[in-house]
Structure 1
Amino acid sequence: MTAPLGASDEEIEAVLKEKQDWIRKSREKVIARSQKTIEEPALSKEELQKLAQKVEVYADKWEPVLGVKAISFTLRRMKTRWGSCSISSKRIRINTKLAYYPDRCLEYVVVHELCHLLEAGHNKKFWGQVEKALPDYKETIKLLKE
């Protein structure tokens, strides 16, 4: 708490008493929020290399099947997405958090982003391409949401 320099101890205590319910509720919210947003530790150089190798394996597997070719794959720590694709530059970004998930999740994200090189949006044609490549993709999405 901050208080004006000239405030007496009695004035400070009075404000604290008056606001004690608000202070308690605010404190509980902060604690609850911090418990929900605990992040995984950053990946080591070796773990990043291993993840990059897996991405390369999946790209080599699926690019010829889908008939597309990405210019590059970049690993990035992302807060809200598992991957992203710049269609015009054919550059794909993969979330490093996928290192903590089963390999099928990484494979799904690679396929998903490669399918964007065929179809920009998430329309019926796009999901048809994903399903053709990975018939069980809906189960994998469930894993990613857990």
Structure 2
Amino acid sequence: MTTASSESLLTALIERLAAADIELKVSQKKVRNINFRLKPYQLAVSVPVAISAKQVAQAIDKRVDWALDQHKQLLIRHQRQQQLSSMNPTVAHPILLWGKAQSLNLNEHEKLVYYRQQLAKVMPELFDKWQPIIKAKAKETRIKKMHTRWGSCNTRAHRIWLSVYLPAFPIECTEYVIVHELCHLHHANHSRAFWQTVETAMPEYKQWHTMLAGKAGKLD
């Protein structure tokens, strides 16, 4: 397996995990063996410093099916724990819409329904705005309750997911995420060429990138 094919396999594995809302995090550590740790919304992989990309990709490939299967059960336990630890999950709280406080008081479930509706309203217009600029077109767009990222792109299927939590931020943040993911249709990684493409399309992108960077989600 060549370096290029190893990278291609790893990209495919990242996309497969991302489709299940699982972030792949690979870290080099002073360990003898490749170690896997599955967490809610994340597969953490510790690899020895002196190991090839081919070995890493092949090892992860062997564990992806296990991770996808076990993650479903892990989430059930995690969600139960969250429910037990919450004093009153039905309490309503004021919310933000496009970065501005609203007079609405919604509980968590109602908030997600509201955010999904608001995001669905603006997505067609925003994709129509940015796709001609970037010269890339998504064949399918989806909204998902993602805990580890603000957006995700399946470069093979030209499918883009946006986080349901984006309407809490200024709408420019959503536009930036759309730009970011559309640029992945030209560059599958976060190379210098990728960031140059983002900046060409949206010169002020760093402002919105910084605003989202301090939050829980990431961009892929």
Q: TM-score, normalized by length of structure 1? A: 0.69
- Matched residue SS, 2:167: helix
Aligned residues: 110
Give 1:79 deviation, angstroms: 0.8
Q: Residue 74 of structure 1 corresponds to which residue in structure 2?
A: 142
Alpha carbons 2:180, 2:198 under 8 Å: kept: yes
More strand by share: 2
Bigger RCO of structures 1 and 2 (CA < 8 A, at least 6 apart) = 1
Q: Residue 125 of structure 1 corresponds to which residue in structure 2?
A: 193
In structure 2, stretches of 5+ residues that fail to align are: 1-84, 90-106, 215-220
Give 1:46 deviation, angstroms: 4.9
- Aligned identity (percent) is 39
Mapped pair 1:112 → 2:180: yes
In structure 1, stretches of 5+ residues that fail to align are: 1-33
Report the Cα distance in structure 2 between the residues aligned to 1:47 and 1:138, rounded to whole angstroms. 24
- Matched residue SS, 2:152: strand
Letter of the structure 2 residue corresponding to residue 64 of structure 1: P
Q: Residue 41 of structure 1 corresponds to which residue in structure 2?
A: 108
Give 1:44 deviation, angstroms: 5.3
Q: Residue 92 of structure 1 corresponds to which residue in structure 2?
A: 160
In structure 2, do the counterparts of structure 1 residues 60 and 46 end up closer, same or farther at CA, with 3 Å as the change threshold?
same
Q: Residue 56 of structure 1 corresponds to which residue in structure 2?
A: 124
Report the Cα distance in structure 2 between the residues aligned to 1:41 and 1:102, rounded to whole angstroms. 20
Q: Residue 213 of structure 2 corresponds to which residue in structure 1?
A: 145
Q: What CA deviation, in whole Å up to 9, does each residue of 1:23-53 have, x standing for no partner?
A: xxxxxxxxxxx79xx9x82335454232112
More displaced, 41-50 or 73-82? 41-50
Alpha carbons 2:150, 2:162 under 8 Å: kept: yes
Q: Residue 170 of structure 2 corresponds to which residue in structure 1?
A: 102
Give 1:85 deviation, angstroms: 0.3
Report the Cα distance in structure 2 between the residues aligned to 1:100 and 1:72, rounded to whole angstroms. 23
- Matched residue SS, 1:88: coil
Letter of the structure 2 residue corresponding to residue 87 of structure 1: T
